[in-house]
Amino acid sequence: MEYALITGGSRGIGRSACLELALMGYPVIINYASNESAALRTKQLIEDKGGTAVLLPFDVASDHETEKALEQWKSDHPDDYIAVLVNNAGIRKDNVMVFMEDDQWHDVLNISLNGFFNVTRRLLKDMISKRFGRIINIVSLSGIKGLPGQTNYSASKAGVIGATKALAQELASRRITVNAIAPGFIATDMTQGLDQDALKQTIPARRFGQPEEVAALIGFLASEKAAYITGEVISINGGLYT
């Protein structure tokens, strides 16, 4: 059986991605680091719609935790494999560079960039042997344009964008696609605390995006219809930056 794994799947874009892929028929693996109640809520939402979901808690920034969790899942599912991977886990710790602390830099890069590496490399052998896979990396407008106060976040997402383009070329002949989605301002926990009224005036669409809109794009990239799209970074930002 082909499964879908969504890192940071308990809330926001991750939760919407879990629901979208479940509706496509994938049994969904919901990864989270600490918020079990939110992950259980996501699981319940999927099951209420007739889908299948399991929880798989681990910190993507920890190579040891990632290896242990994925090896245990594989041991429990010897005849199955993870065919769709959505690398969504990420955090913000904004600050201008001159005042940025070591942990603000390293924590953001460890989750977004190292987390992409820790998870993705452990799933590639099965995708290659099955000659099918979909890897979808959630990056950001910040990784394309750069945003002041987000040097750490911009660096982490720009790193994943470069990795997306390189990995896509390594895997294309194996029928595995690797793409990135770069959201602008999306109404999630990550954007709470921002001055939304002021920011909406900078967006041509005059609104924040919804997680379900990003999830719809994830669903398309995971589908057979997107088999000839790889190495791309697709923006979804209401026209904020093109």
Please list the active-site residues.
153
List CB contacts of 226: < 8 A, sequence separation 6 or more: 134, 177, 179, 220
Cα separations in angstroms, 71 against 11, 43, 119: 25, 22, 11
Contact 5, 123 (CB under 8 A): yes
Contact 30, 57 (CB under 8 A): no
What span, in angstroms and rounded, lies between the C-alpha atoms of 27 and 5? 9
SS3 content of the chain, % helix, strand, coil (to 5): 50, 20, 30
One-letter amino acid identity for 236? I
| Residue owning tokens 């979909």 | 134
Sign of the Cα pseudo-torsion (198, 203, 206, 208, in order): negative
